[in-house]
A and B are shown apart, each in its own frame.
Chain A
Amino acid sequence: MGSVGAKEVPVLLSPEGLRVDGRRLDELRPLRIQAGPLHQADGSAFVEWGANKVMAAVYGPREVHPRHLQQNNKAVIQCKYNMAAFSVDERKRPGLDRRSQEISKVIAEAFESVVFAEEFPRTSIDIYIEVLQANAGTRCAGLVAASVALADAGIPMVDLLPAVAVGKVAGEIALDLKKEEDNFGEADLPMALVPQSGRLVLLQMEGHMTPEELSKALDLGVVGCKSIYEKMKGALRDRYTVEPSAAAEAA
């Protein structure tokens, strides 16, 4: 990750207004979500988003493992975000680092504000996010995967939690940055939205934006989240829809 300095800056925005991969400023990368690929977990999801590949598994509510973390009035939500050693060009040193700890924390806190944790006192809801292949925006991909996995696990919550990063690329606000844009762009703004209430439960920023750009970026992100939300719902419907009874009735 640190060895990009030698490369020259790619053309991030063509004169026609197209980005490095030919998308327009308000376009998402292709997103595919699969609900329930894992059998041992209570809930799971696999997300392919551009070149990102992220698997999420949810266990619980179950006994809290380090007992002292147990809360008497609600479930604790524990999240572990991890990047595989092979997820980036140069081998990532496996294990916890500052970045993954931070991401685990912000994702767990995002879910704390939507999950009805009071329904399961003295238990733990454990979320595991494994990034198998990374290409910018993995915390958002992880959040989307974890959210679908939570729904798959039957855990009560206010809403699914779509997430996307908006950024500033070649002076323009762009939706859903990919790696080159993230590395050479001017700003990155990951966000997660509760569609039911319109609240944001995750918002971070790296780089610089003017207040006007920020508000434009937020608007663009909300639009992006809505379309991601539809994909998340589609993935859950695909898994759970009852087989059309038409065949049985026609017979």
Chain B
Amino acid sequence: MSQGHRSGHRRRGRGDSSSHPPGDRILVLPGQELPAAGLRPGRGTYRVGGKVYASILGLLSPKPPFVHVVPLSGRYIPKPEDVVIGTVTDCQGTFWLLDIGAPRWAPLHMTGTPWNVEIGETEKYLRVRDSVVVRVENLDATGRIGVTMIGEGLGKLEGGTIVNVSPARVPRVVGRGGSMIQTITRHTGAQVAVGQNGRVWVNGSPEAIARASDALRLIDEEGQRRGLTERVESFLVASGGSDESGPTLPPRESAHRDAVPGPTAPGGPGDEPGDSDTLGSGAEDY
């Protein structure tokens, strides 16, 4: 509570603690007893007979008075205020069901959209396989996930493609202060938006999409390594060498913004360096 960046941490939650690990992060496995003298069992742990054990595979993260295990794998576990990218899996009379990569589908009610939807006409606005940017609003004890599309930067995604990365990798995809996204957009000219659930929307020319997607896959596979930004940068430079448009002239701004109408990309258009859009709060404190 005393630290300045605490608020950022609260919103992020997953993969939180130290932005850049000081190299002392310990991998723990389910059933492993944790060195938790005087600490209470936090996320990813359980207690039996006064001893604390890990319940998931992850990195040990003592945060007095708790000891947590930060997951390295697994599905997206929703948190309120997370901005996520979802895909419509079902249309009902008054709501859509979205696959946001969580354990359950999230219902998006028609009143949670900026549109004036008539009952029974949900399909006029969103159809199965459409993708949207939504914010997690509330969670209840039964695991129901309430989402809304009303808010800045939320809405339907037009064009582009979605790349899935592990939710545990989202902080690496965003990079410290959004640096990783900026690297990708600078080298490929693609427009990139990252949801906290590990869904990444990529838009631009076909080559830009392909190269940005490859870079994202690289991050997903090698996310736990050090020096990742440099590795991604050299990968992008190498892959762009044969490309005529070249990596040095990012054709961003106008072209791509026109291609994406409406409420797509959040963040102030054009103001940010690199045209990078990070959904939600992940970027700032990483």
Contact = CB atoms under 8 A, between A and B. Distances in A.
Interface of A: 42-43, 60-63, 72, 75, 116, 120-123, 151-160, 194-197, 233, 236-237, 240-243, 245, 247-249
Contact of A116 (B25, B46, B48, B74): B46
Contacts of A197: 48
Contacts of B48: 196-197
Contacts of B224: 240, 242-243
Given A116-B55, A240-B27, 13 more contacts: A43-B74, A61-B75, A62-B103, A120-B103, A122-B104, A123-B104, A151-B56, A154-B56, A156-B56, A157-B31, A158-B46, A196-B31, A243-B225
B73 interface: yes
A63 B104 contact: yes
A242 B225 CA distance: 6
Interface string B218-241: 000000111100000000000000
A152 B73 contact: yes
Contact of B29 (A72, A237, A248): A237
A159 B54 CA distance: 8
Contacts of B171: none
B226 A248 contact: yes
Nearest to A243: B225
A123 B59 CA distance: 26
A159 B31 contact: yes
Interface string B64-106: 0000000111110000000000000000000000000001110
B30 A158 contact: yes
Contacts of B168: 154
Given A155-B74, A236-B29, A196 B143 contact: no
B38 interface: no
Given A195-B31, A236-B29, A153 B142 contact: no
A-B pairs, 10 with minimum CB distance: A154-B74, A159-B31, A245-B23, A61-B103, A156-B55, A154-B73, A196-B31, A123-B103, A248-B226, A243-B225
A45 B121 CA distance: 45
B57 interface: yes
B75 A60 contact: yes
B73 A160 contact: no
Contacts of A196: 31, 48, 53
Nearest to B89: A63
A78 B57 CA distance: 21
By CB atoms of chain B within 10 A, which of A75, A120, A195, A241 has the most? A120
Contacts of B71: 154
B44 interface: yes
Interface of B is mostly: loop
A194 B72 CA distance: 23
Given A121-B142, A122-B142, A155 B56 contact: yes
B50 interface: no
A237 B58 CA distance: 10
Nearest to B140: A121
Contacts of B25: 242
A245 B105 CA distance: 39
Contacts of B142: 72, 121-122
17 contacts: A75-B103, A116-B46, A120-B103, A151-B29, A153-B73, A153-B75, A154-B71, A154-B72, A155-B56, A156-B30, A158-B55, A159-B30, A160-B30, A195-B31, A237-B27, A245-B226, A248-B227
Nearest to B43: A156
B151 to A, nearest CB: 26
A43 B30 contact: no
B4 interface: no
A37 to B, nearest CB: 13
Given A242-B21, A243-B224, A151 B143 contact: no
Contacts of A60: 75, 103
Contacts of A123: 103-104, 143
A123 B145 CA distance: 13
A223 B104 CA distance: 40
A195 B53 CA distance: 12
A236 to B, nearest CB: 6
B148 to A, nearest CB: 21
A249 B23 contact: yes
Nearest to B22: A245
Given A120-B143, A236-B57, A157 B30 contact: yes
